[in-house]
């Protein structure tokens, strides 16, 4: 027997399918807040030290002016650097004559040849780097060790310039004869418009002579 409502049932099924296809995404957005004012642009950033920063509609932060290392070190705090370097004590010792751990003892590291501390088995990456641990080289190494010396066993990042400067000031103090900090870059002086001043003075003199 033919169902007199068969056509109606087919139409209802098609309508239901269309509602599911086109209406479900809108329902999902309404329930979970998608597609609103923030859209899909909100980001979650985990900064060093466990601070959480949320992006989204906030205006992009303006780039801070670059400060040279000498100026940063001149304003750094060795005591603050010692507190920050506490993170490193699981691998390094800092006192004079201290034993090597997972990493080498760091007494006198500033000015020391790379991969030269007695009794420590350095990676080939550091052995091949060569040279001396200057403040500048240590700064780059602390910023991103793996990027600066690919293949080194040390893995850490201190992205903030001021924090690295504090640590460098502390490392620099670990010596009977500390290596001096690099000189701060000279402050940019405003160029005096000498020619304009001379021209103005000459003009005033001419006016006085005319009278």
Domain ranges of the chain: 73-173
Number of C-beta neighbours around residue 41 at 10 A: 8
Q: Does domain 73-173 have CATH number 3.40.50.620?
A: no
User: pLDDT (tens digit, 0 to 9) for every residue of the chain, 211 residues total?
Assistant: 555 666 666 666 665 665 555 554 444 443 333 433 333 332 222 222 333 333 445 455 566 667 899 999 999 999 999 999 998 999 999 999 999 999 999 999 999 999 999 999 999 999 999 999 999 999 999 999 999 999 999 998 999 999 999 999 999 999 999 999 999 999 765 444 555 555 555 555 555 555 5
Whether 185 and 71 have beta carbons less than 8 Å apart is answered as yes
* Per-residue confidence (pLDDT) for residue 180, from 0 to 100: 98
| pLDDT score of 156 | 87
Cα–Cα distances in angstroms (integers) from residue 17 to residues 4, 11, 14, 26, in the given order? 22, 10, 5, 15
pTM of this structure: 0.61
Round to whole Å and give the CA distance between 149 and 162: 22
> What's the confidence (pLDDT) of residue 2?
56
Residue 142 burial (C-beta neighbours within 10 Å; 0-12, 13-18, 19+): buried
* Distance in angstroms (rounded) separating the CA atoms of residues 173 and 73: 12
């Amino acid at each position: 027997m033919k169902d007199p409502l068969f056509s109606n049932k087919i139409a209802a099924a098609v309508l239901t399918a269309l509602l599911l296809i086109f209406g479900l995404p809108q329902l999902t957005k309404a329930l979970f807040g998608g597609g609103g004012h923030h859209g899909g642009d909100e980001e979650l950033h985990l900064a060093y030290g466990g601070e959480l920063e949320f992006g989204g509609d906030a205006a992009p932060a303006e780039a801070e002016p670059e400060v040279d290392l000498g100026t940063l070190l001149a304003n750094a705090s060795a005591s603050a650097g010692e507190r920050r370097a506490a993170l490193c004590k699981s691998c390094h010792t800092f006192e004079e004559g201290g034993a090597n751990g997972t990493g080498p003892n760091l007494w006198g590291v500033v000015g020391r040849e790379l991969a030269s501390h007695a009794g420590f088995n350095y990676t080939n990456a550091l052995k091949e780097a060569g040279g001396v641990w200057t403040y500048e080289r240590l700064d780059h190494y602390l910023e991103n060790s793996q990027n600066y010396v690919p293949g080194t066993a040390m893995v850490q990042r201190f992205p903030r310039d001021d924090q690295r400067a504090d640590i460098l000031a502390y490392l620099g103090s670990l010596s009977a004869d500390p290596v001096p900090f690099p000189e701060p870059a000279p402050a940019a002086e405003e160029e005096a418009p000498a020619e304009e001043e001379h021209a103005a003075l000459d003009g005033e003199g001419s006016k006085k002579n005319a009278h």
